Amino acid sequence: MRAKTAVVLGAQWGDEGKGKIVDVLSQRFRAVARYAGGHNAGHTVVHGGQKFVLQLIPCGVLRKGCTGIIGNGVVLDPVAFLKEVGKLRALGVEVDGQLFVSNRAQVILPYHRMIELASEYAPGRQKIGTTGKGIGPAYEDKMARSGLRVVDLLRPDLLKTHIDEACAEKNAIAHALFGTDPLDPAQMYDEYAAAAEEMRPFVADTGRLLHGILADGGSVMFEGAQGTMLDIDHGTYPFVTSSSATAGGAATGTGVGPTAIGTVVSVTKAYVTRVGEGPFPTEIHGAVGDHLRARGNEYGAVTGRPRRCGWLDIPLLRYSNHVNGAEWLVITKMDVMDELEEIPICIGYELDGRVTDEIPADVQGLEKIKPRYTTLKGWRASTEGITEYEKLPLAAQEYLRFQERESGAKIGMVSTGPDREQTMILPEFAAALERIHG
């Protein structure tokens, strides 16, 4: 019997609409566990006209009776976490007793932001396009085995010693390399010691909690952050995030073994977007790119930065599905394409005079490849809010089936608008979800 779990993640560079999909599916799961990233990831959920922007907290908390878990693979800023909790409480969302943070998660402290911002904007340094929230330096400290974990945050004596020693080191480094003014360790301790006490009721051994839910016959969804092509190992390095955004991260980032993962659901837009720096083979410049950005409201949920827009890239999607072992594909923002007369789709590349569908491992190769396109007819009709596949225009149906045939994963859902109800669930996927839920 397959495990009653599913990983839901992004197929490209993030911003694929995972938040809405996780929210729609969460009614079928007892728990939703976030396994990577930090509050640099933004998930936007719209329900009944009300907009929720979640940066760190799993979307599952918006469903009554669904437990939200922040796993050990996440890096957590306690102050940012508590602000988000406060906003949800103000909106009437029940978080107490429904939301838990791993005691093994790494903590982001102000000197991580100081180092990241100073490094990103230092003269002569290559810009990565970071959000400046301290994510990368926190993961650096984790791998250097010099970080602070949530379990340590709750011990005032250890917290004070850690902050004093870390500030002495980080202040010296930042001043020497970037001329940055020093941070005050005493002020930092007071702020984070107070935040730790406020956070204490949320802290748990979440790996043990997840094992208990699964042993009891409950179902768990693992919520990805960012996207596959931002994965530290498999993405467009070095223009990537600092964690494992792919399906493998669900096991290492929560403490649930890989044999407990039942299926993988990969989320892709009907086109592609990217925020920040880095190669983007199918990027559209000019009026058409502006049109997609405007119709799709393509601005970062966390940063507000305009997203770069491009045509669907089949080799990239196929690569992503292979890396993740994706069984199901979810297509979002179908309605954004409604006004286009023709829709190019990248089906391969030319690199150094040869035809290939292989994704180059190096940035130089990615920047040199030239996309090879095929063109499908647009449907020039509204798909917004359509929830039955047969009611889609025939050209829209063909666009979806083309993605399914070429990507190696079955289409399970199609999103035709931002609200929960503007979602199409295909029968085979609905049956698979019922087996997980049942």
For 71-119, how does the pLDDT look when each residue is reduced to its tens digit (9 = 90+)?
Answer: 999 999 999 999 999 999 998 888 999 999 999 999 999 999 988 887 7
251: which 2 tokens?
Answer: 């096991």
Comparing C-alpha atoms, which of 394, 383, 426, 202 is closest to residue 295? 383
DSSP symbols for 315-373: HHHHHHHHHHT--EEEEE-GGGGTT-SEEEEEEEEEETTEEE-PPPSSHHHHHH-EEEE
| Residue-wise pLDDT tens digits, 237-250 | 999 999 999 999 99
| Measured distance CA(236)–CA(247) in Å, rounded | 17
Comparing C-alpha atoms, which of 34, 44, 40, 52 is closest to residue 77? 40
Average pLDDT value for residue range 349-368: 93
Task: Please give the positions annotated as active site.
Answer: 15, 43
By DSSP bridging, strand 272-274 and strand 308-310 are: antiparallel
pTM confidence score: 0.92
In the numeric block, the tokens 């909690």 are attached to: 209
H/E run at residue 248: helix 248-252
436 has pLDDT over 90: no
- One-letter amino acid for residue 44 of the chain: T
CB 12 within 8 A of CB 282: no
Beta-bridge partner residues of 131: none
pLDDT at 31: 96
| Degrees, nearest 5: CA angle 386-57-207 | 115
| Measured distance CA(52)–CA(95) in Å, rounded | 14
| Measured distance CA(256)–CA(213) in Å, rounded | 11
| Residue-wise pLDDT tens digits, 135-193 | 999 999 999 999 999 999 999 999 999 999 999 998 888 888 777 888 899 999 999 99
pLDDT at 1: 47
Q: If DSSP codes are grouped into helix, strand and coil, which group holds residue 175?
A: helix
Average pLDDT value for residue range 33-52: 80
| Measured distance CA(311)–CA(398) in Å, rounded | 16
